Structure 1
Amino acid sequence: MQSGIGARIPRKEDARHLKGKAQFVGDIKIAGTWEAAFVRSPLAHARITAIHKPQGAEARVFTAEDMVDLAPIRCESTLPSYKVSDYPALAQGKVRYVGECIAICIAPTRAEAEDLAEAVRVDLEPLAPVVSVEQALAPEAALLHDDWGDNLFLTTNHAGDLTEAKAKATVVIEREYETARQAMNPMEGKGVLAHWDHKAEQLVAYTSTQVPHLIRTGLSECLGLDQAEVRVIAPDVGGGFGYKCVLQPEELSLAWVARRVDRPIRWTEDRREHLTAGANTRQHKYKITAYADDTGRLLGLDADIWVDVGAYSVWPFTACLEAAQAGGNLPGPYDLGAYACRTYSVATNKPGFTPYRGVARPGVCFAMELTMDAIARAVGRDPLEVRCLNLVQGAAMPYTNITGKFYDSGDYPAAARAAAEMIDSANFRARQKAAAAEGRHIGIGFSTFTEQSAHGTKVFAAWGLPLVPGYEQAMVKLTPSGTVEVRSGNHSFGQGLETTIAQVACEWLKTDLAQVKVTMGDTGLTPYSTGAYASRGMVMAGGAVSKAAEELARRLKIHGAHLLQCKPDEVEINDCAVTNGIASASFAEIASAWYLHPDRLPDDVNTAGLEVTEGYKPDIDTGVFTYATHAAIVEVDPATGRTTILDYVIFEDCGRRVNPLILDGQSYGGAAQGIGTALFEEVIYDAAGQPLTSTLADYILPGPAELPHFRLGHAETLSPYSRHGIKGVGEGAAIAPAGAIVNAINDALSGYGVELTQIPATPHRVLSALLDAQDKQKVPA
């Protein structure tokens, strides 16, 4: 059975998951473990005047006053005008969002800990809440951070010259767009179990994270411990999506308490905590002016982008990564001559902003793709034609766009046309007309994007972040029995990385996947990695494993050739063995010679051994770019506002496909999340900053009944800058759905003069847009 790159095989990790043998934070058993619960703020903005611990339980309740030796989470940036927010593990002085941690309570069981938390009384002096960008920027707005003087974390300005574009433009499109705040909802919420290991003299933290080595750094800095005194272990992780790639205040306070009381302490996030106090994402506002000619050719783009980033900067990505990504990625796959953009990272009384699958690009793709359709309507051309006119052409690759993104390879118009062919757009207007005769309203929409993956040192350094990724490291080893061990500091949390990096090792070592054992997520056992985010796992970890496996294969040939009494250039590796014609030395025989019977080896044997650690990053530091076009056909019921997806097509190019089965799963899952963004998901706050979507009855996630049968198509343009031509793909499918679906809704309702510009496109918003359009038609000219 083929096990290397390109093999369509089930994930290694599925066996334990399907049999209930996986081990998450909640499954770990350590003698003497107590459970924790948090006292959380009931108000969005208030001063803490007093905290009253229950009499007799003072030793089991901890507040900021107890943690005087615990430093706050402080995320610095080198960007000009950036403002720092100290994010305490437990609130100090005042609270800045509903759900902020005020105290941590511990008890033998979670129920007892929650009862204790209920008994803690907190005296709060209410302050005026700031719950929107408009409120936060108003002249007399209440300040979240008193020493700032305003509520802006950061403002950026890409000051392009639009003079020529304005002079040549015959079409000017002005639009405002809004995207809703979302929660990420991984199947497993956050969780951490910490204890002090007296034998190792280490704090050991089992935590549900994508970035164990980063969490070790963050914990050590805040706790005042040397990194050698901290070991972080990420066991099985039930989804992350970016939510689990930052240092959480709960991780920090729980680690402090575990060390103070000298017993294991665990906390696992429940769904209500996640929906009300977990980090939020996605909430953008856009004001865009596009300048085009009569053909629909885009000449220039002017934009303002406001991002509602909540109360605090998260470590290590700050509160400003979202806006930085938005400003840099708004042009997307399009070739335009002039661009100006200003971004505003605005503080409000909401949970802090965490990177979420796609980081800003679902918002910018939505805004850009609706703008492209608006241009097409203005010039009377088909939206697909206008896209293909404006997309970077295949002959121009590699291409550096107007914001400095280096598009390494591909053919964007070809992908758009392939998606159109798959969904049969050529015959759609006849189908639409036939549906209209039946009283049905159907529409078609397209959305094209690029996904920057595995971007590296210079890119992150340019964003001013306090921690910058460098070379990814991995170790590949032949064990004494002849099996292969792979160790990576990256982590698998549902994206199949445990399988795909094993496949990369198999590509060089020609062994069966079952003979490759993968260890990830343990800072005590694995080489350093900044972890799994930014679609970097397969490119970076896969690249490092590839380099290490290639070197191990070279050493195996040397040892095998000696056992076969021939030269290394006369042998090959096949089926777990070094071969020379019909003669062979199995991996087990070579391993036995190295580890157990060195007398079989020459005196001048290479002492480097059969354990190889290598570091890797792509030949370019700007990342390698996946791209895709999504196409959707929807039906809209104007009586109810309900949108039904009739057909959905994805045509994607992510370079070399390591495991097509896993890639399909990534596309399905990402598109499902994108459909949630487009039609369902919205964190809603009232005027007092109270979250109104605190259960899954209020916060709507798409389920099987709401999802279409996705149809996938692929091109395979290899990147010339990464090993095996691989590009990252983990975030891509979540980026495009909102643009495709809302464009399709607008097409379906074009006869009513409806143009939706806000997501999610809920039935209420669709009906409101229909009523607004009717009102406008009634107004006399």
Structure 2
Amino acid sequence: MTTGIGARIERKEDRRLLTGQAKFVGDIKLPRQWEAAFVRSPVAHGRIRAIRKPEGMADRVFTAADLSDIRPIRAESSLPTYNASDQYPLASGKVRFVGECVAICIAPTRAEAEDLAEQVEIEIDPLPPVIDALKAREADAPLLHEEWGNNLFLTTFFDGDIETLRKTAPVVVEREYSTARQCMNPMEGKGTLAHWDEKAGQLVVYTSTQVPHLIRTGISECLGLDQGQVRVIAPDVGGGFGYKCVLQPEELSVSWVARKTGRPIRWTEDRREHLVAGANTRQHHYKLTAFADERGRLLGLDAEITVDVGAYSVWPFTACLEAAQAGGNLPGPYDFGTYRCRTFSVATNKPAFTPYRGVARPGVCFAMELTIDAIARAVGREPSEVRKENLVPAGKMPFTNVTKKFYDSGDYPESVAQAERHIGLAGFRARQAEARANGRFLGIGFSTFTEQSAHGTKVFAAWGLPLVPGYEQAMVKITPSGSVEVRSGNHSFGQGLETTLAQVASEWLTVDISRINVTMGDTGLTPYSTGAYASRGMVMAGGAVSKAAEVLAGRVKTHAAHLLQCKPGDIRLSDGKAWFGKAHVGFEDIARAWYLRPDQLPDDVETAGLEVTEGYKPEIDTGVFTYATHAAIVEVDPDTGKVAIEDYYIFEDCGRRVNPLILEGQAYGGAAQGIGTALFEEVLYDANGQPLTSTLADYVLPGPAELPHFRLGHAETLSPYTRHGIKGVGEGAAIAPGGAIVNAINDALSPFGVEINAIPATPEKVLGAILRASAAREAAE
């Protein structure tokens, strides 16, 4: 058999995706369907005084006053100091960011709907906008939500005895770091099509989402419908990255209007809407003080983290997930004993934060990895050597770190050793010196991280979230013709789950994946799941499919044993057949007997049948940890500030590799996004909160010319706590590039006395740092 776990095979779904046969929200067309366009706020902060609809268009233009029976999006949290926000699907009383939905207009075509939106008049009294999260924390800052009395969604505090270290540590390193706000830019933006199905008595919502069952819950609660009256279908989804794992205000507005008008209504996000009003992410500020011994051995860390989370708290993950992840994951893969950290989740007049690939860890990895290099410079040692000495060694696994993260397995220092070897550190310093003598400035940088995946109930409950994931469920069935159906409430939006879930089923049933059909994304057809996020797909959904397929394989053996006149324990499954010695029956024979010729089975046959639904939860509830080290060699042009990546190597360990080909694609794609974070991507605003990066001419994404040829190595340290030893891998490669690349830039620019501590490290920022350092030297002389 060549299609089970470990097989390097092409994805089942790619044929329809690459030939234009896939069906996205924008491809669906229903009878009597109309299109929607939104009127959006032109200012960042202000009170709505009046909204005037075009004459005679009351039944085609709807505002918050019309949608008065909709409950606002309100994500509660049980954490102390948490402030909840009410986000109405259409702004009510006040607007809090440029692009916030104010009215929805419908017409037979999108162009007509947009023309109608242009005719809606809005009167807004501007209020002072809050754009800088650090200033938003000040006592006299304008308030987004006046009832709070401040602009803080949440403050958290990890306590540790830092003061003793401050007095005794031989080495003290202090730094401030910042990461830019980003926009996620999946190939397909958001999209929603809703209609009322009279026969089923259901609101049917087609929406581009990663979490269809969660969206059904959110829509039903906000619209006051029983969940049985709502069916959510996620068709093909063109990327998500976390952007599509929260309840969107547009989903509510479109659903309400569809029910109100009795006709299907669709809205699809255009790229300008996405860049202006889509969820933002990644904007962090760090103040770190690290304490180390004379060799650079980390003793403790004192941190203050400010996260600019925008105007509203998203449902269900809240505005505080980013800071909670940042505070808990800042220590990363390092072994030290003293930690103090305070985090601030700050409201500003920008779109709300949504979880994005890696959730907080690209920021904490950037800050931590630059700090490790700063310690190495302070003690005069090679950064990768200091890094290896500080990482949790393999002999301590499993290991509980200073923030109670439970690292299940792995050899973290070996990942650095592998990266050193493959990037060529041993000969690099001589090559670097020779290049400098010729006026070229090369640098090398490393970045090591852990990726927590398949977080369990205890983790989410500790974050105080209103919805806590539990068991994942899956159904596996043998059809009357002997093929296999798999149904999962999880969903695929580019990560290849249709293929890998089929591979897991094939591992037990031995049927070729060409005969395994995987259905996902429809709450009317699939078992309940909280969906696809946090790299939980293969651990959780794969675990559930594995359990169900294992049980089904046992039933197949029982029926086959009767047909072959032997004991079930004598049956061996191979190539989609049940074998007793050289005799065999095919799955089609077994299925025919069960479905069509039950007279061939014994009178006391087990009636559970050839369809199995099973739930799955890993043996531990704290998640499992993938880890990796990235290494980069860059060249920096000191005359322009331009950074070119000469070489890039990734060594990672994600446990058992279900499909190495898909895993490599995940690594390459994640690293490409991480390079965007490191060098290019930045959402900018002026002092009035107006977005300055509202087109792809302004918001720069890396393309083929900006990306290196990635080289990739793997280890397979199986997790002892999951089925097949699988760990998640979907987010990991996006986490490390910022640290690796900027460490390499700082290494290259060490002759200039330059240290870059903010990303993206654009040519403007790099050149500015060089010029400032030069001016400082001249002034000192």
User: Is the pair's TM-score, using the shorter chain for normalization, greater than 0.5?
Assistant: yes
> What whole-Å deviation, never above 9, does each CA across 1:639-681 have from its counterpart, x for those lacking one?
1100000000000000000000000000000000000000000
CA distance in 2, matches of 1:11, 1:670: 18
Partner of residue 74, structure 1: 74
CA distance in 2, matches of 1:382, 1:442: 16
Q: Within the alignment, does 1:485 sit opposite 2:485 as a pair? A: yes
Q: Within the alignment, does 1:639 sit opposite 2:616 as a pair? A: no
CA distance in 2, matches of 1:780, 1:424: 37
> What whole-Å deviation, never above 9, does each CA across 1:660-710 have from its counterpart, x for those lacking one?
000000000000000000000000000000000000000000000000000
CA distance in 2, matches of 1:164, 1:698: 48
Q: TM-score, normalised by structure 1?
A: 1.00
Q: Within the alignment, does 1:223 sit opposite 2:223 as a pair? A: yes
Q: Which runs of 4+ in 1 moved over 6 A?
A: none
Partner of residue 581, structure 1: 581
Q: Within the alignment, does 1:532 sit opposite 2:532 as a pair? A: yes
Listed as ranges, the gaps of 5+ residues in structure 2 are none
User: How far apart are residue 94 of structure 1 and its match?
Assistant: 0.6
Partner of residue 117, structure 1: 117
CA distance in 2, matches of 1:760, 1:315: 29
Partner of residue 238, structure 1: 238
> What whole-Å deviation, never above 9, does each CA across 1:250-309 have from its counterpart, x for those lacking one?
001100000000000000000000000001000000000000011000000000000000
CA distance in 1, matches of 2:134, 2:488: 45
> What whole-Å deviation, never above 9, does each CA across 1:495-554 have from its counterpart, x for those lacking one?
001110100000000110101000000000000000000000000000000000000000
> What whole-Å deviation, never above 9, does each CA across 1:216-257 have from its counterpart, x for those lacking one?
000000000000000000000000000000000000110000
Partner of residue 12, structure 2: 12
User: How far apart are residue 435 of structure 1 and its match?
Assistant: 1.3
> What whole-Å deviation, never above 9, does each CA across 1:71-116 have from its counterpart, x for those lacking one?
0001000000100100100000010000000000000000000000
Partner of residue 468, structure 1: 468
**What is the RMSD of the two structures over their aligned residues, measured on CA atoms?**
0.7
> What whole-Å deviation, never above 9, does each CA across 1:476-510 have from its counterpart, x for those lacking one?
00000000000000000000011101000000001
User: How far apart are residue 134 of structure 1 and its match?
Assistant: 2.5
Partner of residue 619, structure 1: 619
User: How far apart are residue 392 of structure 1 and its match?
Assistant: 0.3
**1:460 corresponds to which letter in structure 2?**
F
Q: State whether residues 157 and 341 of structure 2, in contact with CA within 8 Å, keep that contact through their aligned partners in structure 1.
A: yes
CA distance in 2, matches of 1:488, 1:167: 56
- 1:491-530 matched pairs, under 5 angstroms: 491-530=491-530
| 3-state SS of paired residue (1:220) | helix
Partner of residue 428, structure 2: 428
Q: State whether residues 288 and 304 of structure 1, in contact with CA within 8 Å, keep that contact through their aligned partners in structure 2.
A: yes
CA distance in 2, matches of 1:176, 1:289: 9
| 3-state SS of paired residue (2:123) | strand
> What whole-Å deviation, never above 9, does each CA across 1:375-399 have from its counterpart, x for those lacking one?
0000000000000010000000000
Q: State whether residues 618 and 723 of structure 1, in contact with CA within 8 Å, keep that contact through their aligned partners in structure 2.
A: yes
> What whole-Å deviation, never above 9, does each CA across 1:46-75 have from its counterpart, x for those lacking one?
100000000011210000000111100010
Q: Within the alignment, does 1:174 sit opposite 2:170 as a pair? A: no
Q: TM-score, normalised by structure 2?
A: 1.00
Partner of residue 566, structure 1: 566
| 3-state SS of paired residue (2:770) | helix
| 3-state SS of paired residue (1:97) | coil
Q: Within the alignment, does 1:94 sit opposite 2:97 as a pair? A: no
Partner of residue 590, structure 2: 590
User: How far apart are residue 438 of structure 1 and its match?
Assistant: 2.0
Partner of residue 360, structure 2: 360
User: How far apart are residue 780 of structure 1 and its match?
Assistant: 2.8
Partner of residue 345, structure 2: 345
Q: State whether residues 134 and 306 of structure 2, in contact with CA within 8 Å, keep that contact through their aligned partners in structure 1.
A: no
User: How far apart are residue 167 of structure 1 and its match?
Assistant: 3.8
User: How far apart are residue 138 of structure 1 and its match?
Assistant: 2.1
| 3-state SS of paired residue (1:410) | coil
User: How far apart are residue 440 of structure 1 and its match?
Assistant: 0.7
| 3-state SS of paired residue (2:648) | strand
| 3-state SS of paired residue (1:299) | strand
**1:758 corresponds to which letter in structure 2?**
A
Identity of aligned residues (%): 75
| 3-state SS of paired residue (2:244) | coil
Partner of residue 659, structure 2: 659
Q: State whether residues 305 and 323 of structure 1, in contact with CA within 8 Å, keep that contact through their aligned partners in structure 2.
A: yes
CA distance in 2, matches of 1:168, 1:174: 15
> What whole-Å deviation, never above 9, does each CA across 1:379-424 have from its counterpart, x for those lacking one?
0000000000100000000000000000000000001100110101
**1:255 corresponds to which letter in structure 2?**
S
**2:100 corresponds to which letter in structure 1?**
E
| 3-state SS of paired residue (2:555) | helix
User: How far apart are residue 734 of structure 1 and its match?
Assistant: 0.2
Partner of residue 158, structure 2: 158
Partner of residue 758, structure 1: 758
User: How far apart are residue 772 of structure 1 and its match?
Assistant: 1.4
User: How far apart are residue 437 of structure 1 and its match?
Assistant: 2.2
User: How far apart are residue 120 of structure 1 and its match?
Assistant: 0.2
Partner of residue 323, structure 1: 323
User: How far apart are residue 749 of structure 1 and its match?
Assistant: 0.4
Q: State whether residues 166 and 300 of structure 1, in contact with CA within 8 Å, keep that contact through their aligned partners in structure 2.
A: no
**2:126 corresponds to which letter in structure 1?**
P
Partner of residue 46, structure 2: 46
> What whole-Å deviation, never above 9, does each CA across 1:142-162 have from its counterpart, x for those lacking one?
110010100000000001112
CA distance in 2, matches of 1:287, 1:164: 19
**2:179 corresponds to which letter in structure 1?**
T
CA distance in 1, matches of 2:241, 2:18: 21
CA distance in 2, matches of 1:466, 1:780: 57
User: How far apart are residue 766 of structure 1 and its match?
Assistant: 0.2
> What whole-Å deviation, never above 9, does each CA across 1:726-766 have from its counterpart, x for those lacking one?
00000000000000000000000000000000000000000
Partner of residue 29, structure 1: 29
Q: State whether residues 168 and 293 of structure 1, in contact with CA within 8 Å, keep that contact through their aligned partners in structure 2.
A: no
